[in-house]
Amino acid sequence: MRAFVFPGQGSQKVGMGTELAAASAAARAVFEEVDDALGQKLSAIMTEGPEDQLTLTENAQPAIMANAIATLRVLEQEFGVSLVDKGDCVAGHSLGEYTALCAVGAFGLADTARLLKLRGRAMQAAVPVGEGAMCALLGADLEKAQALADSAAEGEICQVANDNDPTQVVLSGAKAAIDRAVGLVKDYGIKRGILLPVSAPFHCDMMQPAADAMAEALAATPPGALALPLYANVTASAVSDPAIEQDLLVKQVCGRVRWRESVLAMREAGVAEFVELGGKVLGPMIGRIDGDSSVYSVISMDDLEALAKAL
């Protein structure tokens, strides 16, 4: 069995998609449709920057999605490889869950771009700049990270935001609590704590205003039928019902990204091969979660050609 997976925020960089757009009309069509849907030249920011504009949450989220869907369209149209024919399930890391839903036809491309633009704006606006923070804990498993978060909270919000792999967990919450957590890492047998360069504390209870905004947006633009099952971030289990997934997307804004558990659940279901489209972030995580699985991370035309031959 094979899973197609899609990266989340942090995988953006200036120049993303440039090679694909130069080589493929299918990729160019994706970038043009996203530009039209958003009423902005997002593709120009992706290609030329400036970097501070690309890293803005409201730009990074649709940009990462557009790059991954362009990669998928090239695979399908230039190399004749159908995700639905070659895949058994999909998953995405945080915003990547929207990309995965687009890939299996639950959302159209334009709607996905608009939803992610709104999601990015809502997440940014939920907490005033400077009041929230996130940190990555290196050399931490979930148990150590949870104990550290509980200790550092001191009445403030300090929660596990991402359970990425057995060696990396991310905390999110109030700035003072996250600073305390970074200062306490050695006491909990954790190798390092690193403050992340993010503008808001994603995937914690401080994001409730953004969850409310997404509930309204998804009520107006609900997901349709999924061509393949999706492993949802907040449950780490397979979903095929669009109504259930709509509710999970709302919960995802404040909820934990259970990526490690999602990968293990896919492996348990029989997935032996993972294909990451549009990034090279999830592949290494998957390798640390389960070294026996086969992983392809695909961003270039050469990567796509190699993948098409392998499939």
pLDDT digits (tens, 9 = 90+) for 184-213: 999 999 999 999 988 789 999 999 999 999
Which amino acid, one-letter code, is at 52?
D
* DSSP sequence for 128-142: -TTSEEEEEEET--H
SS (H, E, C) 171-234: EEEEHHHHHHHHHHHHHHCCCEEEECCCCCCCCCHHHHHHHHHHHHHHHHCCCCCCCCCEECCC
Which amino acids are annotated catalytic? 94, 203
Tokens of 216: 């309204």
pLDDT at site 197: 82
pLDDT at site 129: 85
> pLDDT tens, position by position, for the chain (311 residues)?
999 999 998 888 999 999 999 999 999 999 999 999 999 999 999 999 999 899 889 999 999 999 999 999 999 999 999 999 999 999 999 999 999 999 999 999 999 999 999 999 999 999 998 899 999 999 999 999 999 999 999 999 999 999 999 999 999 999 999 999 999 999 999 999 999 988 789 999 999 999 999 999 999 999 999 999 999 999 999 999 999 999 999 999 999 999 999 999 999 999 999 999 999 999 999 999 999 999 999 999 999 999 999 98
Contact 299, 17 (CB under 8 A): no
Tokens of 123: 């997440």
- Domains and their CATH numbers in the chain: 2-126+206-310 (3.40.366.10), 132-198 (3.30.70.250)
